[in-house]
A and B are shown apart, each in its own frame.
Chain A
Amino acid sequence: MWTRFAHPGHFLRWTQPAMPWLAGLSGLLLAVGLYLTWFMVPPDYQQGETVRIMYIHVPAAWLGVFFYGGMALSALGTLVWRHPLADVAQRAAAPIGAAFTLICLVTGSLWGKPMWGTYWVWDARLTSMLVLFLIYCGIIALWRTIEDPNRAARAIAILTLVGAVNLPIIKFSVNWWSTLHQPASIMRMGGSAIDPSMLYPLLEMILAFTLLGVTLHLYAMRTEILRRRVRTLTIREAERLDAGITPARVSVAPSPMGGAVQGL
């Protein structure tokens, strides 16, 4: 069943009707989350109103790590099973993960200035998040450097798996080293350290951001499938012109992406 859903043609078919619903639900959850954040959440007894930055900073940090984790799983799919949708998923995830990591870094910096007195310190958590952003940038650049997506996929899958070693470093950096960044306060032994009046809106924002990220990812995957189909047809057209042949029709290619166009 998984193989059936993961076939590019089937993927395009089942995601098409789901996209408007996912987009609408993402917008609704974001609207509810922003209402809670701005009108229901009390100011923090120490940080005052600046605590409102947490409701975008934490979900963005989560998505930066979440998308890299997804890319590492996709990298396994590319290397072990050579599934065409695996590297499509990987390529589509990189810019989205990079964008959320950038949001995390910038909002963290804007939160750090009034609370710590500085925009940036070379603390383990901040530095490992910056390294994650640089890895994302490297992966995006590599995708653009290697023209053949199948060749690029394998090289990038290896790089992605090597970069995955940064994920536990990000998670445990606040425990392993003495950092200015606070230790884990949501997922920790003994339960969350955040008051429910702040925790539930934060969880709602994490859910809203996650759904928005997943929606954007599915949409970008659909685009990536189309891009590969365009590439295949363009190459075929160029070969036809080189050979001076007029075919009956540019038809669906018997390539791994062949079924993709049928879903349109």
Chain B
Amino acid sequence: MILGTHAGYILGAYAFTALVIGGLILHAVRDHRAQKRALAGLQDAGGERA
């Protein structure tokens, strides 16, 4: 496929979209894991005192 003289605009648009969506997914996964870890830590701390 030949994108012609406007290839930079087309590829730039797709690259930016991939970057933002990739960032959203990465942030979602890392945030979820962090909350799970924090919750497990708090519950373990409660369990150890029992």
Contacts and interface: CB of A to CB of B under 8 A. Distances in A.
Interface of A: 38-39, 48-50, 52-53, 56-57, 60, 95-96, 99, 102-103, 106-107, 110-111, 113-114, 212, 216, 219-220, 222-223, 226-227, 229-230, 233-234, 237, 246-251, 261, 264
Contacts of A248: 49-50
B36 A53 contact: no
A237 B42 contact: yes
A52 B39 contact: no
A96 B17 CA distance: 13
Interface string B1-18: 111111101101110110
B22 to A, nearest CB: 11
A230 B31 CA distance: 13
B46 A250 contact: yes
Contacts of A261: 39, 43
Contacts of A107: 13, 16-17
Given A50-B9, A96-B24, A111-B9, A250 B45 contact: yes
A223 B49 contact: no
B13 A227 contact: no
Nearest to A212: B21
- Identify whether the interface residues of B are mostly helix, strand, loop, or mixed: helix
Contacts of B7: 49
Given A106-B16, A230-B35, A230-B38, A216 B46 contact: no
Contacts of B49: 246-249
Contacts of B2: 49
A219 B1 contact: no
Given A56-B14, A106-B16, A222-B32, A230 B46 contact: no
A171 to B, nearest CB: 23
Contact of A49 (B6, B16, B32): B6
B13 to A, nearest CB: 4
Contacts of B46: 233, 237, 247, 249-251
Contacts of B17: 56, 60, 103, 107
Contact of B24 (A99, A113, A226, A246): A99
Contacts of B45: 237, 250
A49 B38 contact: no
A261 B46 CA distance: 14
B20 A223 contact: no
Given A219-B28, A223-B28, A49 B4 contact: yes
A110 B14 CA distance: 10
Contacts of B43: 233, 250, 261
Contacts of B42: 230, 233-234, 237, 250
